[in-house]
């Protein structure tokens, strides 16, 4: 999913700079050991949306020096961090595929996948050091939140906690934190004013969380033909998602059968299909969509710190695309 940029001159600049990032990324994942290079390039070569580095580049347009070398370095840092997390995610999820290709753990084994993720994290840390102490501090805090979100996803919320609030905290850590840093880096290393940095970081946090929550909705609502995803994968695996948590929270007697299914074994194809059909027709789906739309409106309001023009319009359009995406 590319950022929707309607201004052709801005789009051309972003395409050119993203090409620079791609070349730089390829160099950064090289190792003296050919096997390590092959493993590190594996998921990068499989493609991806690259919207984290693209958001760095677009946020940099808010400052006077959007083409600085530091901006390109920052774009590489966030993508390497994201790629590293995918290697670890696939081990935790026991995934066989990632971006249509064999996951690293399926192609080799868990040890290779984990250590390759560690290698990429270390490369992102090396690059961060080149940007100075403030960047190291930001990256460390981001990594802390990312890992904390990953851990919290594996444990149920405390008995007295709201499961929806727990899920939103997981999403903010796992996804929102790095996308917030992407926008912050772009603003900071292009020389944007501090108020712009803060506004874009807050924007990125909200949009990043909304992006993940859209995935929650797509897991239920999408047809594999249009999205490329297998419908109900999270549902089958018992992974909490916003629509499921909202549906679970009702006390309507009409939801008794759905609650029974959600509390049972959904690896059975018939039970899974029934639960998926009931969820698709449930008001929880519209409530989840409304929540995501409301959050993206909050994100767009933060952009008032920017002057009207192509950059602000592109960031506003991106928030809208995240809220309504189908893939």
Q: Which residues pair with 196 in a beta bridge?
A: none
Count of helix runs (H) and strand runs (E) in the chain: 17, 2
Who contacts 151 (Cβ-Cβ below 8 Å, separation ≥6)?
none
Q: Which residues pair with 98 in a beta bridge?
A: 101
Q: For the chain, how big is the Rg over CA atoms in Å? A: 20
* Distance set, CA 55 to CA 2, 16, 35, 144, 181 (Å): 10, 14, 31, 21, 10
Q: Is residue 78 a contact partner of residue 26, using CB atoms and an 8 Å limit? A: no
Instruction: Show the tokens assigned to 104.
Output: 């690293």
- What SS3 class is residue 96? coil
Instruction: Show the tokens assigned to 130.
Output: 């080149």
d(CA 204, CA 315): 10
Cβ neighbourhood burial of 288 (10 Å; 0-12, 13-18, 19+): buried
Q: Which residues pair with 270 in a beta bridge?
A: none
Closest Cα partner for 258 from 273, 269, 237, 268?
273
d(CA 167, CA 243): 11
pLDDT of residue 228: 46
Q: Is residue 317 a contact partner of residue 296, using CB atoms and an 8 Å limit? A: no
pLDDT tens over the chain, length 327 residues: 456 777 899 999 999 999 999 999 999 988 888 877 887 777 777 767 788 999 999 999 999 999 999 999 999 999 999 988 887 677 766 655 555 566 667 766 677 878 888 889 999 999 999 999 999 999 999 999 999 998 998 888 988 899 999 999 999 999 999 999 999 999 999 999 999 999 999 999 999 999 999 989 998 987 754 444 577 888 988 888 999 999 999 999 999 999 999 999 999 999 999 999 999 999 999 999 999 999 999 999 999 999 999 999 999 998 888 877 766
d(CA 72, CA 68): 7
Which residue has tokens 């083409």? 67
pLDDT of residue 98: 58
> Distance between alpha carbon 8 and the CA centroid of its chain, in Å?
26
pTM above 0.75, yes or no: yes
């Amino acid at each position: 999913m590319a950022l929707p940029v309607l201004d052709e001159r801005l789009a051309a600049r972003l395409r050119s700079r993203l090409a620079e990032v791609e070349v730089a990324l390829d160099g950064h994942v090289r190792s003296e050991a050919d096997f390590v290079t092959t493993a590190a390039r594996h998921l990068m070569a499989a493609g991806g949306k690259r919207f984290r580095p693209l958001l760095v580049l677009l946020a940099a347009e808010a400052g006077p020096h959007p083409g600085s070398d530091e901006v390109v370095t920052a774009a590489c840092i966030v993508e390497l961090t994201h790629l590293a997390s995918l290697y670890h995610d696939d081990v935790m999820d026991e995934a066989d595929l990632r971006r249509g290709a064999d996951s690293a753990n399926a192609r080799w084994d868990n040890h290779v996948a984990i250590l390759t993720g560690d290698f990429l994290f270390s490369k992102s840390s090396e690059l961060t050091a080149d940007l100075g102490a403030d960047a190291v501090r930001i990256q460390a805090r981001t990594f802390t939140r990312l890992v904390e979100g990953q851990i919290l996803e594996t444990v149920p919320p405390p008995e007295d906690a709201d499961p929806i609030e727990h899920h939103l905290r997981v999403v903010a850590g796992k996804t929102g934190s790095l996308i917030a840093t992407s926008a912050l880096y772009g603003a900071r290393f292009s020389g944007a004013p501090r108020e712009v940095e803060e506004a874009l970081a807050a924007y990125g946090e909200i949009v990043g969380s909304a992006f993940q929550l859209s995935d929650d909705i797509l897991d239920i609502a999408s047809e594999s033909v249009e999205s490329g995803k297998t419908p109900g994968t999270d549902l089958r695996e018992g992974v909490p998602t916003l629509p499921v948590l909202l549906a679970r929270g009702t006390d309507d007697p009409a939801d008794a059968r759905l609650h029974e299914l959600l509390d049972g074994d959904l690896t059975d194809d018939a039970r899974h299909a029934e639960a998926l059909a009931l969820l698709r027709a449930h008001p929880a789906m519209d409530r989840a969509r409304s929540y995501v739309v409301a959050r993206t409106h909050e994100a767009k309001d933060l952009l008032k710190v920017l002057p009207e023009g192509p950059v602000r319009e592109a960031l506003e359009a991106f928030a809208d695309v995240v809220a309504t995406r189908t893939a």
